[in-house]
Amino acid sequence: MQIRLLEVRNPDEVGPAFQTMTREPTDALFVLQDPVIGLSQKRSADLAAKHGVPSMSGSRGYAETGGLIAYGPSYFDLSRRAALYVDKILKGAKSGDLPVEQPTKFELVINLETARALGLTIPPSLLLRADEVIE
């Protein structure tokens, strides 16, 4: 496996990054989550589908906007847990005394519409494990 890193520093660089990527055969794409990509996740998903590249990201929104698969922490659960921290702080706890926590709930979202468009068959065992399947 050969990994290529393409930097995107602003939304205008998403298109050129895909042009660079498609100059050489590309079997798959993993889109890292950051604020720039968050603003461009639909465009990234659309370009991946246009170029026939299966894509994955860590945000469920990526699969909801047309990406093939999303697997990452549940932002709903993280927000709920953050509210518990706010409650503790408002009740007098010192933020420095609260433990650092890592996500404990992760979500797998699969977009079957995108899979069909790419000519891919998702194994039933993976579909059964998914938290959501978009048809």
Cα distances from 14 to residues 30, 42, 115, in angstroms, run: 13, 11, 22
Give how far the C-alpha of residue 67 lies from the chain's centroid of Cα atoms, to the nearest Å: 8
Transcribe 22-36 into DSSP letters: TTS----EEE---HH
Instruction: Provide the 3-class DSSP secondary structure of residue 6.
Output: coil
The pLDDT score that the predictor gives to residue 97 is: 93
Cα distances from 51 to residues 27, 28, 45, 113, in angstroms, run: 11, 11, 10, 16
Strands (E) across the chain are located at: 29-31, 55-57, 69-73, 106-111, 132-134
Which domains are assigned to the chain?
11-73+105-134 (3.40.50.2300)
Split at pLDDT 50, 70, 90, the class of 125 is: very high
Cα separation, 42 vs 62, whole angstroms: 7
On the question of pLDDT at 117 being above 90, the answer is: yes
The pLDDT score that the predictor gives to residue 26 is: 84
pLDDT digits (tens, 9 = 90+) for 24-77: 888 898 988 877 777 788 888 998 998 899 999 998 999 999 999 999 999 899
Residue 42 has which token pair?
Answer: 């639909």
The answer to whether the beta carbons of residues 55 and 29 sit under 8 Å apart is yes
Closest CA to 74 of 101, 33, 104, 112: 104
